[in-house]
């Protein structure tokens, strides 16, 4: 039996029960999104916010919520922000969870992770995003994405789809995916994803994404670690379909009709209409930039 002086205090008991996971959050001017994200991470043992010289109060908000802040200075090329953090930060735990500043960890998912990481048979887990857009939960329009966000340290890395990158293409991974060495499975509980802070910010970020995607699609290479495949994972299927859809005339209109009509995006009201419309516009921007890049190529 313990002596009185050896008994754990309530604070010590809470510390002992901390989720033994390190969370890496990529951020830039995220002072509005970070508080909700970081409040949801109170049960987590270690949190890093990897900032890109934010001009708002991102750093102060992160530190006020107990997160460690690290600055990432991007000068082009590879690695980008999250892979750099995985390669260079003194990560204390055996498991890494990758989050965006607009994602929220629910108590149910936290407890599921606590049990999942005890299973030695798996080195990684995919988590579905439950997307909120303009104040509404989107249930239709083919919105549900799965991301391999949780994996053992040293057993996961990002694929590199484009080595010749610059700051115009965003300083963090866009549609690159984590490759896990070993078995993976899906978790049941989703991450809550508050997809938009403001439409202006949304458009700004996706302009950078289309710069990157136009370069990736222009190189027409299928020899990446996660190659396009109709029979593969969700990410591989989406990649396979995207390549073929981009080749069709009027594909942005087809994408809108697919999401809004065939996949019932209209049931999500005005936010569903705007979301499906923006997805089509994103494709139009990417196709336009591919045209521009081809037009500016030197004649061989």
pLDDT tens digit sequence for 141-183:
999 899 999 999 999 999 998 888 888 888 999 888 999 999 9
Give the gyration radius of the chain's Cα atoms: 21
pLDDT surpasses 60 at 6: no
Instruction: Specify whether 115 is located in the same domain as 262.
Output: no
Q: Is residue 88 part of a domain?
A: yes
Q: Is residue 300 part of a domain?
A: no
Confidence bin at 237 (pLDDT 50/70/90): confident
Among the three residues 196, 222, 253, which one is the final residue of a domain in this structure? 196
Confidence bin at 129 (pLDDT 50/70/90): very high
pLDDT surpasses 60 at 46: yes
Q: Is residue 37 part of a domain?
A: yes
Gap between the Cα atoms of 63 and 65, Å rounded: 5
Instruction: Specify whether 178 is located in the same domain as 39.
Output: yes
Gap between the Cα atoms of 176 and 23, Å rounded: 19
Q: Given 3-state DSSP classes, what are the helix, strand and coil percentages for the chain, each rounded to the nearest 5?
A: 40, 20, 40
Read off the CATH number of the domain in which 143 is found.
Answer: 3.90.550
Are 56 and 31 in contact by the 8 Å Cβ rule? The answer is: yes
Among the three residues 136, 170, 196, which one is the final residue of a domain in this structure? 196
Estimate to the nearest angstrom the gap between the alpha carbon of 253 and the chain centroid. Answer: 26
Least confident window among 120-134, 168-182, 197-211, 228-242: 228-242
Instruction: Specify whether 61 is located in the same domain as 176.
Output: yes
Closest CA to 32 of 53, 58, 54: 58
Mean pLDDT for 43-53 is 97
Instruction: Specify whether 215 is located in the same domain as 136.
Output: no
Number of domains in the chain: 2
Are 214 and 289 in contact by the 8 Å Cβ rule? The answer is: yes
Q: What is the pLDDT of residue 222?
A: 59
Taking each helix axis from N to C end, the angle separating 234-246 and 199-219, rounded to the nearest 10 degrees, works out to 80
Q: Is residue 260 part of a domain?
A: yes
Structure tokens at 53: 């010289």
Q: Is residue 147 part of a domain?
A: yes
Burial 249-265, CB ≥16 within 10 A → b, else e: eebbeebbebbbeebeb
Closest CA to 100 of 168, 3, 195: 195
The residue range of the domain holding 18 is: 4-196
Q: What is the pTM of this model?
A: 0.88
Among the three residues 180, 196, 212, which one is the final residue of a domain in this structure? 196
């Amino acid at each position: 039996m313990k002596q009185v002086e050896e008994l754990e205090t309530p604070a010590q008991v809470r510390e002992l029960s901390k989720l033994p996971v390190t969370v890496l959050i990529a951020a830039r001017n995220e002072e509005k999104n970070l508080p909700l994200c970081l409040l949801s991470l109170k049960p987590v043992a270690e949190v890093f916010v990897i900032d890109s010289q934010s001009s708002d109060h991102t750093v102060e908000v992160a530190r006020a919520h107990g997160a460690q802040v690290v600055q990432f200075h991007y000068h082009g090329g590879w690695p980008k922000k999250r892979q750099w953090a995985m390669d260079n930060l003194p990560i204390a735990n055996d498991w890494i969870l990758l989050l965006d500043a607009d994602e929220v960890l629910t108590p149910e998912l936290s407890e599921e992770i606590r049990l999942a990481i005890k299973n030695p048979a798996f080195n990684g887990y995919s988590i579905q995003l439950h997307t909120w857009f303009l104040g509404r939960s989107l249930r239709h329009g083919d919105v549900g994405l799965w991301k391999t966000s949780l994996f053992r340290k040293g057993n996961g890395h990002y694929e590199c789809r484009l080595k010749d990158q610059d700051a115009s293409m965003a300083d963090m991974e866009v549609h690159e995916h984590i490759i896990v060495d070993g078995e993976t499975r899906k978790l049941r509980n989703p991450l809550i994803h508050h997809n938009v802070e403001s439409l202006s910010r949304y458009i700004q970020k996706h302009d950078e994404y289309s710069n990157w995607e136009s370069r990736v699609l222009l190189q027409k290479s299928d020899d990446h670690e996660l190659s396009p495949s109709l029979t593969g994972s969700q990410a591989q299927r989406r990649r396979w379909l995207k390549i073929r859809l981009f080749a069709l005339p009027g594909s942005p209109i087809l994408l809108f009709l697919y999401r809004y009509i065939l996949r019932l995006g209209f049931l999500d009201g005005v936010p569903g209409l705007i979301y499906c419309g923006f997805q089509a516009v994103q494709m139009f921007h990417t196709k336009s930039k591919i045209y521009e890049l081809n037009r500016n190529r030197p004649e061989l």
